[in-house]
Amino acid sequence: MIQGLEYSDFEKALTTLGVVAKTDKKTLHKLYLALSKEFHPDAPNGDTAKFQEINDAYQLVKVYMENYRFDFDEAEFKKQYPFSKSDWLCGR
């Protein structure tokens, strides 16, 4: 489990990877590979920061999909991951 994860972090990861609807691991991996190739630091138009953002986003979504059912709406996220930073800070 990733401590302190907020839905906004998860939503940003989905946006970074271009996930617009419920998907499977195979499709997620294809999206990741395409973006990794495009932004790899050794590529002609490579971008190290963007490449790292893509890697981090992929790891976050992949862990979520491996450990939880993978509906991508906020209600399902909060149901399956009830311990957000704000809950922890409030002593919940």
Closest Cα partner for 60 from 46, 74, 70, 73?
Answer: 70
CATH superfamily, domain 7-89, is DnaJ domain (1.10.287.110)
Q: Are 39 and 47 in contact (CB under 8 A)?
A: yes
pLDDT in tens, 11-44: 999 999 999 888 889 999 999 999 999 999 999 9
Domain extents in the chain:
7-89
pTM score, two decimals? 0.72
Q: Is the pLDDT assigned to residue 77 strictly greater than 90?
A: no
- Measure the CA–CA gap between 62 and 17, rounded to whole angstroms: 11
Q: Are 4 and 88 in contact (CB under 8 A)?
A: yes
